[in-house]
Structure 1
């Protein structure tokens, strides 16, 4: 019979000093939320659906299907499946036209480099399509082998937990040993449903109280702030 682990000991299968970090992309690693907002506004207006920018912003980070249903519900207009698909295409085209405006958020590249150098596993899980994510990821230096999970690879995107569950599985880590890092309430709701601790960042436009109410264990200004306080997550790095 295997002896019981004493309270102060860790199982050899548990990596308490190197939990996995599962990152959202837009608003978390890239300063791209408002480019997405404007792209959605233009797409919606092309279909005769005028909607205030602030209402669109509140839904950024959700799956495209839920996003459109929620926004259209506020206008009282029905959309056919073909119309919804067309709006998604127009949004992606509009975002790609603005990719020259997008930059990595402060500290994003340094944070990812430190994690890689310290042997801390990390992945990216985004509600964007593979095509849109590929355009965005070109702005970051992603090492070979880092999993990138997009909405095309799962049944449901955020606020469902599928993206983060798939990212943890791709890393070979239990979701319970993982932190989800995101800028929206949809990221943090998905983290709760997945069974991971949620870390919020303010760089996507949501407020601290909103992120904490949605389940954030800690909230930081941006990736740079998280980098400077990485020890608060119990992560030992080789800095």
Structure 2
């Protein structure tokens, strides 16, 4: 019997996933500035809330954030008062922006991805006027792919921000990995069909992030950079 001429099946080269980053608490150390900004903004409306209650909602859009706190506390605000609180928060946050710094490894992580030809974008529930300040902090140009609250109908935990960021990169959301620090990021990632990866640098615990759908959890961008291979992100020189 002659040997059969069989060859191993060929497969296309693997395509590295695109990475979609949350901003506050994920790339920049700004969560607690947002907490204090919200506390001050709400105090102007004679609403006194403990900072831990506020922290649990950071990552949502401003309007949804206020609505959630009203539901939890039984308070009632008019649409005009909600809009005023959102505006006051932006003003209060910008007053503190000089104390915001990149998280450890954030700039190096983004530079490494770009050097390896890996697509990435930022998707944040913040408005452009507040989130845009982060580009300079991270050493990024103004045309960096970034989707902000102003550009979508709904913010997290709805998937709109991540869907829009994937569309901006021209990739299927199912071929993306969402990096975020809050349960709202993980829930939005699941709804977008993306893989969620958590970081602890925004104050949420590992178990909370995992319960919300995080496939992996890292301390901060620096640890994520050291373990990029665990996400299937490789350089051109690396084998499979």
TM-score calculated relative to the size of structure 2: 0.92
Aligned-residue offset at 1:46: 1.0
> Does 1:168 find its partner at 2:170?
no
Once the 2 structures are TM-superposed, how far is the Cα of residue 143 of structure 1 from its aligned partner? 4.1
Q: In 1, are the aligned partners of 2:178 and 2:194 still within 8 Å (CA)? A: yes
What SS does the aligned partner of 2:137 have? coil
Partner of 1:3: none
Structure 1 residue ranges without an equivalent (≥5): 1-5
Match of 2:26 in 1: 28
Which residue matches 1:117? 115
The within-5 A match list for 1:151-230 is 151-230=149-228
Structure of larger gyration radius: 2
The 5-angstrom pairing of residues 1-239 of structure 1 reads 9-10=11-12, 16-143=14-141, 145-237=143-235
Which moves more between the two structures, 218-227 or 62-71?
Answer: 62-71
Gaps of 5+ in 2: 1-7
SS state at 1:198 partner: strand
Distance 2:9 2:102 in 1: 42
State the shift of 1:205 in Å. Answer: 0.1
Distance 2:22 2:190 in 1: 14
- List 4+ stretches of structure 1 deviating above 3 A: none
Root-mean-square deviation over aligned CA pairs: 1.5
TM-score (norm 1): 0.92
Distance 2:66 2:28 in 1: 23
The number of residues matched between the two structures is: 230
Q: What SS class does the counterpart of residue 197 from structure 2 fall into? A: strand
